[in-house]
């Protein structure tokens, strides 16, 4: 049995559940308690505040956790970061009132910086040799300069809209973050086995991202030319149609080159092109 801690509610909750579901681990949302057992994989899901996930995993209360890299770095708990998950992307940045003439980090010398991430900020300032006062506040960090509580802030930025609304300008990006899978550093053998199985499934899901399965009807004499345009993974699959002289041509395409490739295939005589989404790719 593997116990995975995920955020109970908040920005990472839905995507964490969706990711587990894609890996074949479904948890009943309706009856959600602190702890839910998955019906289809030897896994239990523990719902926590994101702040508590690194510690829960370090203590072994949970074997794995899904949490923002920002929380992992801030809490400095002994956990292993085993896999980036590609969602919850954001950055931890320093921002100053936009009227300030900020040239470089020396501007921060002797200033007051408000943040909910004092540990990461302390490391950054020490590394840069800057002495500034860190004011730890729990929420609404972005209003601290307006109300005169701080000269600058250090906070999570995603689109940057919150900074703009509060008359702030991002001046230093300190950490790029996304949701990551973390693990207890000393998992027992049977748990390691389950983890390997889970990672294998997640990789199959990831590999299929941005890929489409395309099939079309093609005159037989155009198969070689179409294969040159779209070599596929090993080679395209070609199946005869009941209509003599025609084949069905199947191949996997990257979504970003879908339209250019389809135009080339159409000019080669491809007809009745179907584009299907690809759910998993297992190697």
> Which range touches Zn ion (CB under 5 A), out of 14-22, 45-53, 167-175, 272-280?
45-53
3-state secondary structure (DSSP) of residue 184 = coil
Separation in Å, CA 159 to CA 39, 89, 99, 164, 189? 38, 10, 20, 10, 42
Q: Which of residues 134-153 bind ligand PRT (CB under 6 A)?
A: 142
> Which range touches ligand PRT (CB under 6 A), out of 27-35, 46-54, 255-263, 269-277?
46-54
Q: Does 156 bind ligand PRT (CB under 6 A)?
A: yes
Q: Find out whether 79 and 117 touch, Cβ atoms under 8 Å.
A: no
Smallest distance from the beta carbon of 8 to ligand PRT, in angstroms?
6
Quick one: which of 28, 40, 51, 271 contacts Zn ion (CB under 5 A)? Answer: 51
Q: Does 131 bind ligand PRT (CB under 6 A)?
A: no
Q: Which of residues 171-200 bind ligand PRT (CB under 6 A)?
A: 177
- How many residues touch Zn ion (CB under 5 A)? 2
89-108 mask for ligand PRT (x: CB under 6 A)? -x------------------
Burial class (CB in 10 A: 0-12, 13-18, 19+), 252: middle
Find which of ligand PRT, Zn ion, none residue 32 binds, CB within 5 to 8 Å per kind.
none
Q: Find out whether 38 and 56 touch, Cβ atoms under 8 Å.
A: no
Question: Cα-Cα-Cα-Cα dihedral of 84, 88, 89, 91, to 10°?
Answer: -110
Q: Using only C-alpha atoms, what is the Rg of the chain?
A: 25
Binding site for Zn ion (CB under 5 A): 50-51
């Amino acid at each position: 049995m593997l116990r995975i801690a995920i955020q109970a509610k908040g920005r990472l909750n839905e995507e964490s559940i969706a990711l587990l579901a894609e890996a074949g681990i479904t948890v009943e949302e309706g009856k959600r308690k602190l702890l839910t057992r998955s019906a289809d994989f030897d896994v239990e899901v523990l719902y926590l505040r994101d702040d508590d996930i690194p510690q829960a995993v370090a203590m072994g209360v949970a074997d794995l956790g899904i949490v923002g890299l920002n929380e992992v770095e801030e809490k400095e708990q002994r956990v292993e970061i085993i896999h980036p998950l590609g969602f919850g992307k954001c950055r931890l940045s320093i921002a100053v009132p936009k009227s300030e003439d900020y040239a470089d980090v020396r501007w921060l010398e002797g200033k007051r910086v408000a943040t909910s991430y004092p540990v990461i900020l302390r490391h950054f300032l020490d590394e840069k040799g800057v002495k500034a006062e860190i004011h730890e506040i729990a929420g609404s960090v972005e209003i601290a300069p307006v109300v005169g509580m701080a000269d600058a802030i250090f906070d999570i930025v995603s689109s940057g809209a919150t900074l703009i609304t509060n008359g702030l300008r991002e001046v230093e990006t300190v950490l790029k973050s996304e949701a990551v899978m973390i693990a207890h550093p000393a998992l027992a053998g049977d748990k390691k086995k389950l983890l390997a199985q889970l990672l294998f499934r997640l990789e199959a899901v990831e590999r299929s991202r941005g890929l489409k399965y395309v099939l079309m009807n093609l005159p037989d004499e155009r198969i070689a030319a179409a294969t040159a345009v779209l070599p596929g993974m090993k080679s395209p699959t070609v199946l005869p149609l009941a209509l003599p002289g025609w084949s069905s041509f199947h191949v996997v395409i990257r979504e970003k080159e879908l339209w250019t490739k389809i135009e080339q295939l159409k000019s080669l005589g491809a007809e009745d092109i179907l584009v299907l989404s690809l759910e998993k790719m297992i190697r």
